[in-house]
Structure 1
Amino acid sequence: MSASPKRIELPALFCSADRAEHGLSRYQPTRSRGATRIHRGVYEDAGRTRVVIAPRWADPTWIEVQQRLAALQTVRPDAVGSHTTAALLLGLPTPYRADALLHVTVPFGTRPVRRPGVVGHASRHLDPRGHCGVRINRGDLVIHELAGHLRIGDLIAVFDALLGTWQDTPDLTAEELRDLLTGRVHYRGRRTALEALTRARAGVRSPGETRTRLAIVAAGLPEPEVAPAVRLPSLPTAIHPDMAYVGPRIAIEYEGPQHRLDESQWDRDIERYGALVRHEWIVIRITRRTSAARFCREIREALELRAVPV
């Protein structure tokens, strides 16, 4: 949870048995009183609200997933948020859309949830924890679930987040993450997880940086250092480009949307870029719209200009 959470007001939830409390008769269409069905037998009442204490970075997708999971748990309290559903609510970068399927897990031996829009699992490895008004599986068990559920590139992004500073995800050392992945002998995707661990890096600040680094390596280019300390005579302290080839003085900066929205961040970026250029660094700036072919070509040209074999 963020050190500075925020309060979010969401439509109140109710079950079919509670229709009368929300001003609806047994046969009255729910839409006639501003109620919307979320799951079979569960509705949200637009005329009433409930308050959720959410992380400061919670976006519309986070809010939608929290509401859908909370609605499901009103009728299936044994259904624990898991896999990418739990990962999204924990702030991990997963390829999850608001209209994607919910993943929930029940104790082994219990009948998994079978509902439209829901993927049900049953597992012996279940330890429910309260989180922002819903119940999700314990964080380390979620990592094991993701190992058997995500492609390796997406799993590397998760590990980068765990080792880095993206949002409020737990800070782990590489040794702690390795212990987490090797401490359990049998789980689906273990081999993929251990391979992803060798390619994860500490200090990554966004999933966009992960995707950029992986694309650079996939293009056959040398892997840049992540957030190296660069000391320039004109600055009092070291700066940390997102990625860099320090020897040939080439910096790679990934410009996420938060850079434009945060004026202080933007000012610091401008100062850093100016200092690098004054000291004859090549600065390659990338956004999420920059194609991999384009930025890899620019990096290759910069390396060749600095006489680095590629």
Structure 2
Amino acid sequence: MTGRIPVPTGPFSVRQARAAGLSSDRLRGGDLVSPFRGVRAAAEPDSARAATLAYAPRLAGTHAFTGPSAAVLWGLPIPARSAGPGFVTIAVAKSRTRSVVRGVITRELKPELFDVVELDGTRVTTPALTWCTLARECSLRELVRIGDAMISTNDAYVGRRPGFVPVPVADLLAAVRRWKGCVGVGKLRLAVELLRPGVASPPESDLRMVLDDAGFPDFEVNADLWDDDGTFLARPDLLLRELRLIVEYEGDGHRTDQQQFRKDITRIARLESENYTVVRVTADDLYRAPDALRTRMWKAFDLATLRSGLESA
């Protein structure tokens, strides 16, 4: 009878399985793997998210996922080096019992910082606290990318968890103040000043940071644009309104989706007919040839300045 008890479809704890009647022989079956001690699953995790979910059945009630592990559950854009199955990161309040498990990193937090919520039945640090814990391993630019995703009011933000509630900048500022004396607080203080709401994807954040580092004025992000008659024109990724200069990041969807491709042609032609200078940027421009991109942007900036009759600063 025990052998006919169905095995759970997702990762499960050995303790729960035995309580449900599964035998030790069945739990040692060749169709099951043990991603963590005391856990069984049908396959080894192949991503940070899968590894986090695999550890969830044995997460102690006084612990919570944090750092990259919490970020992937929230659907936030962690760096590629952290997106693999590697290590799971959990948080525990100081004075509580630490877990010592192969493949698991435990971060001790001051009890007053231990801000935790439940997400699909799993304890995770809040987005604001998660952002602070990521400062240990993320660069300034990576923190800006993740912070932009947290505060974005754009419901179509790429990859973010459906129903994610944008974090007010004031909450991030408060979290950074509470993080005083902890690892990475200096980076967090710089990053929070660089965040912009309305960003729709990680590359948009990266593009904005490249232009910011190059010394360009502050661009409006996904702002509505109207013609002189009050007709809606577009919502460009980046805009210098006075110079009528627009920068658009063209992801692969703009190329592979035929309807989107045709809409882009019509939209850009309309913008150019209204005397806007439009610079289109691809992933190759942004990540493989940023120097050439900066040069092209300064040429477009100078041209837009001449067209507008303004002097370049």
- TM-score higher than 0.5 here? yes
The CA deviation at 1:100 is 3.1
The CA deviation at 1:268 is 4.8
* 1:171 corresponds to 2:166: yes
The match for 1:30 is 29
The CA deviation at 1:152 is 1.1
The match for 2:102 is 116
**The residue matched to 1:136 in structure 2 has which SS?**
strand
What residue ranges of structure 1 are gaps of 5+ in the alignment? Answer: 1-8, 47-59
Question: What CA deviation, in whole Å up to 9, does each residue of 1:224-274 have, x standing for no partner?
Answer: 332233222588325220002222322111123455576775565444222
**The residue matched to 1:35 in structure 2 has which SS?**
coil
The match for 2:303 is 305
**The residue matched to 2:301 in structure 1 has which SS?**
helix
Contact 2:114–2:125, Cα closer than 8 Å, also in 1: yes
CA distance in 2, matches of 1:271, 1:177: 39
CA distance in 2, matches of 1:136, 1:143: 12
The match for 1:86 is 70
CA distance in 2, matches of 1:204, 1:151: 19
**The residue matched to 1:119 in structure 2 has which SS?**
strand
**Which of residues 35, 39, 60 is equivalent to 2:36?**
39
**The residue matched to 2:295 in structure 1 has which SS?**
helix
* 1:280 corresponds to 2:280: no
Contact 2:48–2:85, Cα closer than 8 Å, also in 1: no
Contact 1:230–1:240, Cα closer than 8 Å, also in 2: yes
The match for 1:230 is 225
Residues 108-257 of structure 1 correspond to what in structure 2 (within 5 A)?
108-123=94-109, 124=111, 125-164=113-152, 165=154, 166=157, 167=160, 168-182=163-177, 185-232=180-227, 236-257=231-252
Shifted more, 224-233 versus 209-218: the winner is 224-233
Question: What CA deviation, in whole Å up to 9, does each residue of 1:131-154 have, x standing for no partner?
Answer: 124221233322332344422111
> Normalization by structure 1: what TM-score?
0.77
Question: What CA deviation, in whole Å up to 9, does each residue of 1:192-246 have, x standing for no partner?
Answer: 2121111111221111111111112223334433223322258832522000222
**The residue matched to 1:130 in structure 2 has which SS?**
strand
Aligned residue pair count: 284
CA distance in 2, matches of 1:194, 1:101: 27
Q: Tell me which protein shows more strand as a share of its residues.
A: 1
Contact 1:13–1:71, Cα closer than 8 Å, also in 2: yes
Shifted more, 160-169 versus 292-301: the winner is 160-169
Change (3 A) 1:79 1:177: closer
Shifted more, 258-267 versus 177-186: the winner is 258-267
> Normalization by structure 2: what TM-score?
0.76
Shifted more, 270-279 versus 206-215: the winner is 270-279
The CA deviation at 1:65 is 3.8
> What amino acid maps onto 1:203 in structure 2?
G
**The residue matched to 2:50 in structure 1 has which SS?**
helix
CA distance in 2, matches of 1:269, 1:263: 10
Change (3 A) 1:68 1:287: farther
CA distance in 2, matches of 1:66, 1:159: 21
CA distance in 2, matches of 1:78, 1:175: 28
Contact 1:232–1:275, Cα closer than 8 Å, also in 2: no
CA distance in 2, matches of 1:69, 1:263: 42
Question: What CA deviation, in whole Å up to 9, does each residue of 1:107-163 have, x standing for no partner?
Answer: 322342222322112222324422124221233322332344422111111221222
Shifted more, 87-96 versus 169-178: the winner is 169-178
**The residue matched to 2:183 in structure 1 has which SS?**
coil
CA distance in 2, matches of 1:208, 1:10: 35
CA RMSD after TM alignment? 3.2
Instruction: Give the percent of matched residue pairs that are identical in Structure 1 and Structure 2.
Output: 22
> What amino acid maps onto 2:299 in structure 1?
E
The CA deviation at 1:86 is 0.7
What residue ranges of structure 2 are gaps of 5+ in the alignment? Answer: 1-7
Change (3 A) 1:284 1:89: same
Contact 2:49–2:72, Cα closer than 8 Å, also in 1: no
Contact 1:88–1:94, Cα closer than 8 Å, also in 2: yes
**The residue matched to 2:242 in structure 1 has which SS?**
coil
CA distance in 2, matches of 1:234, 1:93: 39
